[in-house]
């Protein structure tokens, strides 16, 4: 852990209800971490207006005025050619050139991925970045990658994802020996696509073999049997969005059931605490903040519709990875492959 001051570059314009949402979330984070410097990138007049209107107080912050900010429907060509003075472009550029820093945005996912790789580059030995995030399970949480950065992958990519996931988990849970699994349609060695079987062989021949449990089926993702779940980005993204949709469906219908009658309302009161615990277990706000892991820097993507509390959690994730040296962990682990 470094004793130098941490600085977090924040895209103030990305996502729904910004810059208010971003500034409110930053205020929540800053109240608990007053020594972390926050650098806001966006339309300066709008940022100042929201800070004054809502009486947000920051001990240590600065504002970098940007124009030409990224729009939700911008394509790759527009992002690279016409958004060089945007909050995402300038924020990532700042973070790359500033030690002990990271970047957080709730903006355009394509822009964050393209510009993160452009400015930060890749860690030597890692071919592609992966979107990595916490997901709840019956025991606590697991991490899963890739969640959408790579539609197609090679077996060596999945080996690198396993290594990066291992380093990620070692930071957030230092006291547990993690179990690594590959998401597949079955647990048998002959099940699934060929690249998954080849990836399994590669992991089994690496130093990660002591942590590798083989294939894991989708219905076991939330069981807590596996701590690090490896997947290609296409499958991982579908898995994540399906789980989020099912969770929302169950919770909303459960709420309607308890509103149906007086007896139902009474029964709700009897088990209210347990239901609130269940809600917290599947609350996406707690797990907000997906790391674009494998970059030669720290770049965190928040949900575009994240609440201020959820956005504060994304900033907190970024801060943890900076002070715990996530990339140094990955660099050191690559040497063991």
Q: Does residue 134 fall inside a structural domain?
A: yes
Same domain for 279 and 131?
yes
Residue (of 136, 156, 86, 145) closest to 115 by Cα position: 86
Asked whether residue 184 falls in the same domain as residue 313, the answer is no
Residues 273 and 311 both lie in one domain: no
Q: Are 87 and 11 in contact (CB under 8 A)?
A: yes
As a whole number, the mean pLDDT across the chain is 90
Query: Quick check: is 208 in a domain?
Result: yes
Same domain, 153 and 46: no
Are the CB atoms for 106 and 314 separated by under 8 Å?
yes
Is the predicted pLDDT of residue 284 greater than 70, yes or no? no
- Amino acid 281: pLDDT: 67
106 with 131, same domain: the answer is no
Position with higher pLDDT, 36 vs 252: 36
Q: What are the beta bridge partners of residue 131?
A: 292
- Answer whether 91's CB lies under 8 Å from 9's CB: yes
- Mean pLDDT calculated for residue range 285-294: 85
State the sign of the Cα–Cα–Cα–Cα dihedral 38, 44, 45, 46. negative
Both 186 and 232 in a single domain? yes
Asked if residue 336 is part of any domain, the answer here is: no
Q: Region 298-318: what's the mean pLDDT?
A: 93
CA distance linking residue 121 with residue 111, whole number of Å:
15
Task: List pLDDT tens digits, range 99-124.
Answer: 999 999 999 988 999 999 999 999 99
Instruction: Answer yes or no: is 35 within a domain.
Output: yes
Q: How far apart are CA 304 and CA 302, in angstroms?
A: 6
Q: Are residues 146 and 172 in the same domain?
A: yes
Q: Determine contact, residues 58/27, Cβ cutoff 8 Å.
A: yes
Domain membership of residue 156 as a residue range: 127-287
- Ranked by mean pLDDT, which of 40-54, 68-82, 238-252, 273-287 comes out on top? 40-54
> Residue 109 maps to which CATH number?
3.40.718.10
15 within 8 A of 305, measured Cβ to Cβ: yes
Q: pLDDT tens digits for 32-41?
A: 999 999 999 9
Co-location of 78 and 141 in the same domain? no
pLDDT greater than 60 at residue 232? yes
Identify the bridge partners of residue 292 per DSSP, sorted by sequence position: 131
Number of C-beta neighbours around residue 116 at 10 A: 27
The verdict on 118 and 138 lying in the same domain is no
8, 52, 51: which is closest to 27 by C-alpha?
A: 51
**pLDDT score, position 1:** 44
Cα Rg for the chain, rounded, in angstroms?
21
238/275: higher pLDDT:
238
Q: Report the pLDDT value the prediction gives residue 136, as an integer from 0 to 100.
A: 87
| Predicted pLDDT at 209 | 95
Pairing type for strands 130-136 and 141-145 reads antiparallel
Distance CA 151, CA 294 (A): 16
**Residue 141 domain-assigned (yes or no):** yes
Tens-digit pLDDT profile for residues 164-222:
999 999 888 888 899 999 999 999 888 889 999 999 999 999 999 999 999 999 999 98
Cβ distance 315 to 104 under 8 Å? Answer: yes
When pLDDT is cut at 50, 70 and 90, the band that residue 269 belongs to is: confident
**What average pLDDT score do residues 71-86 get?**
87
Cross-strand bridge partners of residue 214:
181
Q: In terms of pLDDT, which residue wins out, 246 or 281? A: 246
The pLDDT of residue 220 is 92
Three-state secondary structure call for residue 36: coil
Q: Which residue from 195, 128, 187 is spatially nearest to 155, judged by alpha carbons?
A: 195
Q: What percent of the chain has pLDDT over 70?
A: 97
Asked if residue 330 belongs to a domain, the reply is: no
- Give the pLDDT band (50/70/90) at residue 282: low
**pLDDT exceeds cutoff 60 at 2:** no
Do 274 and 131 fall into the same domain? yes
Q: How confident is the model at residue 75 (pLDDT cuts 50, 70, 90)?
A: confident
CA geometry: angle at 233 spanning 107 and 96, to 5°?
Answer: 45
Q: What is the Cα–Cα distance from 124 to 122, expressed in whole angstroms?
A: 6
Q: Provide the domain count of the chain.
A: 2
What is the mean predicted confidence (pLDDT) over 59-65? Answer: 94
User: What percent of the chain clears pLDDT 90, i.e. is strictly above it?
Assistant: 64
Q: Give the pLDDT of residue 244.
A: 79
Residue 140 has pLDDT above 90, yes or no: no
Helix axes 155-172, 326-334, angle to 10 degrees: 130
Arithmetic mean of pLDDT, 64-73: 89
Residues 268 and 142 in one domain: yes
Within a domain: 333: no
Q: Does 306 reside within a domain?
A: yes
Q: Please check whether residues 270 and 256 belong to one and the same domain.
A: yes
């Amino acid at each position: 852990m470094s004793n130098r001051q941490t600085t977090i570059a924040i895209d103030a314009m990305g996502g729904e209800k910004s810059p208010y949402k971003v500034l409110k979330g930053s205020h929540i984070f800053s109240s608990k971490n007053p020594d972390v410097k926050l650098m806001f990138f966006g339309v300066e007049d709008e940022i100042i207006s929201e800070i004054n209107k809502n009486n947000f107080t920051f001990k240590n912050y600065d504002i970098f005025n940007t124009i030409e900010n990224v729009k939700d429907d911008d394509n790759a060509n527009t992002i690279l050619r016409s958004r060089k003075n945007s909050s995402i472009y300038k924020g990532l550029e700042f973070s790359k050139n500033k030690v002990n820093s990271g970047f957080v945005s709730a903006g355009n996912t394509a822009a964050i991925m393209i510009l993160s790789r452009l400015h930060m580059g890749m860690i030597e030995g890692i071919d592609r970045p992966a979107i990595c995030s916490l997901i709840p399970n019956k025991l606590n949480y697991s991490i899963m990658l890739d969640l959408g950065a790579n539609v197609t992958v090679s077996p060596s990519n999945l080996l690198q994802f396993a290594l990066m996931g291992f380093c990620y988990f070692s930071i957030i849970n230092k006291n547990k020996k993690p179990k690594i699994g590959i998401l597949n349609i079955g647990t048998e060695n002959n099940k699934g696509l060929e690249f998954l079987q080849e990836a399994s062989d590669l992991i089994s021949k690496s130093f990660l073999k002591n942590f590798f449990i083989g294939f894991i089926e989708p219905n076991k993702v939330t069981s807590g049997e596996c701590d690090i779940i490896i997947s290609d980005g296409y499958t991982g993204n579908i898995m994540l969005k399906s789980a989020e949709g099912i969770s929302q469906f169950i919770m909303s219908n459960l709420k309607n059931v308890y509103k149906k009658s007086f007896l139902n309302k009474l029964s709700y009161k009897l088990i209210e605490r347990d239901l609130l615990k269940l809600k917290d277990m599947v609350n996406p706000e707690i797990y907000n903040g997906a790391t674009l892991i494998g970059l030669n820097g720290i770049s965190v993507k928040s949900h575009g519709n994240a609440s201020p509390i959820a956005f504060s959690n994304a900033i907190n994730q970024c801060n943890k990875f900076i002070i715990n040296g996530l990339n140094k962990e990955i660099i050191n682990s690559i040497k063991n492959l």
